[in-house]
Structure 1
């Protein structure tokens, strides 16, 4: 009992000396074996801590660190992806704006070109009409001149038949001039 006194010394006043002896006998506690088992336990725990628990805990810490790094990279990738999507949207919006502007400019350019071509076509048509009128006027004058000559010749022929006289070139010229003057009126 003296060997257990230092260990169970605090329990003795509470339980009493007989109670401690009774617990020791009831559980079959043999102090030298108990000390040997405690030493073996501490020795096995130290060996396991150094050779088993230490590497396992360091491996678990490394895995935890890799998982944390992976999560950090995943968050960075998510931020980069969001930023890339934002940049892509901005580029797409700018491209759409540029395309709309170019389409509008092309439409305006096509309108102005069409108006210019229309003005040119109208100008050319007016020139063609003016030339046609001039040509018609010249042809009219030529036909009128030819008609006057023919009419003068017919009057000369008719006069020579009515008078029965053969007209000389002076008479024919004078009749042609008089006829032309009367026809132009």
Structure 2
């Protein structure tokens, strides 16, 4: 055993290893590593995790908006279908009643049904436009918010307007 110790000390001496300095360097390395881990690596990793979470939240909001847009489109289509079905029913009733009445009254009933169809389509179109406008504003706001959070830059009015316009153009396409 003493012989192995002697050989170890001889090899260490041949390579210029001083055990005191070696242990001091190990302690300094551990101290520096601990300090960096606590004050540098920890906060950086926490910040990266926060950004990842913000991005995930933004993606979840985008998915929610997409679902809401699809639902709004379905609702609009349902309103149009119902309006067309109601208009068709009114036209049929008007047609049946007009057969029993004079030609003049028949023309009045058809004109009335066409007016109802036009108003129903206008109302449905207006509602769809309002929903799309609201969606574009909200989506633009979310993109501006997400951009400012990810980049850490406070966006000025010009940046926000540009991002909103680009987003609205992409949503419309």
TM-score by length of 2: 0.49
Tell me which of the two structures has the higher relative contact order, counting C-alpha pairs closer than 8 angstroms and 6 or more residues apart: 2
Larger radius of gyration: 1
TM-score by length of 1: 0.47
